Amino acid sequence: MRPPSPLLALLLSLGLAIGGDAAAAPPDRRIALTVDDLPWVPLPSIATADALPGHRRLVAAIAGAGVPVVGFVNEGKLEDRGQIEPQRLQMLRDWLDAGAELGNHSYGHSDLHAVGLEAYQADILRGERQLKALARESGRPAPRWFRHPYLRAGRSASDKAKLQAFLSEHGYRIAPVTEGNSDWIWAGAYLRLEQRGDTRLQARLRRDYLRHMGAKLDYYESQSIALLGYNLPQVWLIHANLLNADTYGDLIAMARKRGYRFIGLDEALRDPPYERADAYFGPAGPSWLHRWAIGERKPAAFFAGEPRTPDWVLNLAGVESE
């Protein structure tokens, strides 16, 4: 067999090199994990003793997973009849011991659109007292992240600008969300099954929940590529509840199987699109990807195809729709 000509050999080697580089460069999938409504979603409407088993499972899973996480605290959940309940405060120390960073989610999980800007700002300041004390106690920096309850961020550009100035003055940066998933609906259904003792259907719900969460990751990756031309570092939102206590490790494994690498919130927000203005002024709390798409006046078809919570889960949770 005759050897290839020098020109053909060069072209073949270039083709192999280019092909090899392409094969060796997997998509850049990074994600920052955040958890809302600490120390536990159903508090203060349940006894502390009833919250502790699930809480302990969740913080153990967080410590075991070893991925960066920011937990957003509602300090109102720490109180019983107006007094700080020591065990609930210890729950926040458990998060710190598990390696989490704590952020401000307002004292009473206030809805900006309902209470107005002045009351909302007061609730933010009321929601940092124990956070600052814990930071001093543990030798950590003061809390620096704020997340809007319900992801309702303002009904006008003026209110958003005033809130941004207020947060900056008090050392906070907004923690956006790009990967929303309505996990609270699934969690409500799961809790009802727990109360019934229906372990068989709980197992089915956990399996379907993981598939749903994976489908949401895929959807928002495709949305990012369609809007920005690449998959930006995503910011994932889940809540401190029993369902996530029982699936946390599986959620991490599912994301990793898809090629995601877990990063800190700081690293994610260094990506340039996070400097874009939030152009959404409606009543809901959509992904920041969709807020940016609204700012670009994308047609309704752009938003199509988002995975939805199935009817059987909605019915179990007692919720009509997402």
pTM of the predicted model as reported, rounded to 2 decimal places: 0.91
* Helix or strand run (H / E) with residue 137: helix 129-138
CB 39 within 8 A of CB 242: no
- What pLDDT is attached to residue 322? 86
pLDDT band at 10 (very low <50, low <70, confident <90, very high): very low
| pLDDT tens, residue by residue, 19-35 | 444 455 677 999 999 99
Tokens for 199? Answer: 């372990």
State the Cα–Cα distance between residues 19 and 14, nearest whole angstrom.
Answer: 8
pLDDT given at position 15:
42
pLDDT value of residue 321:
87
pLDDT in tens, 299-311: 999 999 999 999 9
Q: Are strands 83-84 and 79-80 parallel, antiparallel or unpaired?
A: antiparallel
- Mean model confidence pLDDT for the chain: 93
The predicted pLDDT at position 25 comes to: 64
Please report where in the chains the tokens 């809805």 appear, as a residue: 111
Question: Predicted confidence band at 5 (pLDDT cuts at 50, 70, 90)?
Answer: very low
Summarised one tens digit per residue, pLDDT across range 71-94 is 999 999 999 989 999 999 999 999
Between 322 and 227, whose confidence is greater? 227
Greater pLDDT, 7 or 275: 275
Phi, psi of 169 (to 5 degrees): -60, -35
